[in-house]
Chains A and B, each alone.
Chain A
């Protein structure tokens, strides 16, 4: 325990009754006294506050100009970086030469630089990777700030009470707002499938901001447990589980994140790490696909549950699974051979030695309510 890192808001979590567990090297609240179920449902109906300060925040500041930086960054990701307008954010995937995924991230164009948020467990490798490949064209500057997420249908009301300007933001807008003499870097995005915001805040202001948000009506602190069930219902990938260095963006069903400019026939087709495999899979389809899974009994199917066709042939594995509180049913996602990936396909999952029925289901399980 002693070598776990502490969040800047550690004492706040303890004071709120948070049950702390190790996650990605940090001592993190998995739940508060309300419990995972109540926290999950509260986020879907009101607003939940998440401390995600463990995540990595990085500024890429161009040495010459933004276009040079954007083109260099495009060699690391199959994303359209050049076409991202100032004040906008996009989902990105760092790929390796084999077309696998090194990490998933958010990147924002802030006019004269890019702002990137990466996964906690990957941040050291990501910063090394970005430094190795971009240092000719950019300063790679890790940013030491807190990160809070406010998610749910009442998130706008709660945050706008402190920062009125956020009400005008649309999904994936990113901007810098003044608050009590400091800067909040706010994007309208999140990891729950709900409307909401992610707020980068200086460590000096983090506690004041968290308390000001918790003081708003209908805002409740939410732990990692509900964060996981919310993102699972929203069909979102958890790095290291649903996506990793062996899964390609196409297999992962993340082709929506690969803009036209980077595909065959696009203005800057290919030219990114792993382009041979990724362009081939875009053209011909992948051998396996990430799918939603609806277990047909009440038994949850968790990570590593093996999946079989109804004739007993092994065809894949669950990569994330559990219980969906909003659906009041078990849900999962996993990879299956493409011939078995159509929605409605009946499969079997082996739970404690028993083969139980499970059906391929559409993702997300809960429709997203982003403000577009």
Chain B
């Protein structure tokens, strides 16, 4: 698992990368009540707004960590946004992206480095 400074986790699955938000981020957001997911097949550039997450308190975004194409989204989150709080690193993945080259993920933090960031 890799981590971004924006508190996303990235998990490689074959030639895809699965993206979600960390427990730390989910706790900071509070009760999530709405998730807006991208269209499958959308091409994303690094930094593009991919998802919107709204808690009772406020709205925030998930940005594309790298360039790539959205190949799957987790529709369960639209029905049950509370999953983001219940199981942020498991059932509450947001989208899967296809990258040209998975080695771009090397730039991101590993778990120890991330824990240091939020520590």
| A interface, CB within 8 angstroms of B | 30-31, 35-37, 40, 225, 229, 298-300, 302, 322-323, 325, 330, 352
Contact of B34 with A35 in the complex, beta carbons under 8 Å? no
Across-interface contacts of B59 in A (CB, < 8 A): 300, 302
Residue ID in chain A nearest B27 by CB atoms: A35
- Name B31's contact: one of A35, A298, A300 (CB within 8 Å): A35
Contact of B30 with A35 in the complex, beta carbons under 8 Å? yes
- Name A323's contact: one of B34, B36, B52, B78 (CB within 8 Å): B34
Contact of A36 with B54 in the complex, beta carbons under 8 Å? no
Q: Tell me, yes or no, whether B56 is within 8 Å of chain A by CB.
A: yes
Distance, CA A298 to CA B78, complexed state (A): 9
Q: Report 30 cross-chain contacts, Cβ distance below 8 Å, ordered by A residue.
A: A30-B57, A31-B30, A35-B30, A35-B31, A36-B30, A36-B56, A36-B57, A37-B31, A37-B33, A37-B56, A40-B56, A225-B30, A225-B56, A225-B57, A298-B33, A298-B34, A298-B78, A299-B34, A299-B36, A300-B34, A300-B59, A322-B56, A323-B33, A323-B34, A323-B54, A323-B56, A325-B31, A325-B56, A330-B33, A352-B52
Across-interface contacts of B54 in A (CB, < 8 A): 299-300, 323
Residue ID in chain A nearest B52 by CB atoms: A352
Interface residues of B, CB < 8 Å — how many? 13
Nearest Cβ distance between residue B107 and chain A, in whole angstroms?
29
Across-interface contacts of A322 in B (CB, < 8 A): 56-57
Query: Considering the complex of A and B, which 7 residue pairs feature the smallest CB-CB distances, nearest first?
Result: A37-B31, A323-B33, A36-B56, A323-B56, A298-B34, A300-B54, A35-B31
Distance, CA A37 to CA B57, complexed state (A): 10
Contact of A36 with B31 in the complex, beta carbons under 8 Å? yes
Across-interface contacts of B33 in A (CB, < 8 A): 37, 298, 300, 323, 330
> Is chain A's binding surface mostly helix, strand, loop or mixed?
mixed
Across-interface contacts of A225 in B (CB, < 8 A): 30, 56-57
Across-interface contacts of A330 in B (CB, < 8 A): 33-34
Across-interface contacts of B31 in A (CB, < 8 A): 35-37, 325
Distance, CA A225 to CA B29, complexed state (A): 12
Residue ID in chain B nearest A30 by CB atoms: B57
Nearest Cβ distance between residue A332 and chain B, in whole angstroms?
13
Of residues A31, A40, A299, which shows the largest number of chain B Cβ atoms within 10 Å of its Cβ? A299
Contact with A along B43-62 (1 / 0, CB 8 A): 00000000010111101000
Of residues A30, A31, A298, A325, which shows the largest number of chain B Cβ atoms within 10 Å of its Cβ? A298
Contact with A along B79-102 (1 / 0, CB 8 A): 001000000000000000000000
Across-interface contacts of A323 in B (CB, < 8 A): 33-34, 54, 56
Residue ID in chain B nearest A302 by CB atoms: B59
Nearest Cβ distance between residue B89 and chain A, in whole angstroms?
19
Across-interface contacts of A299 in B (CB, < 8 A): 34, 36, 52, 54
Distance, CA A229 to CA B81, complexed state (A): 18
Distance, CA A311 to CA B100, complexed state (A): 44
Nearest Cβ distance between residue A247 and chain B, in whole angstroms?
24
Distance, CA A56 to CA B81, complexed state (A): 39
Distance, CA A164 to CA B33, complexed state (A): 40
Distance, CA A68 to CA B36, complexed state (A): 59
Nearest Cβ distance between residue B112 and chain A, in whole angstroms?
26
Across-interface contacts of A300 in B (CB, < 8 A): 33-34, 54, 59
Residue ID in chain B nearest A31 by CB atoms: B30
6 further A-B contacts with Cβ under 8 Å, apart from A30-B57, A36-B55, A37-B33, are A37-B56, A40-B56, A225-B56, A299-B54, A300-B33, A323-B56
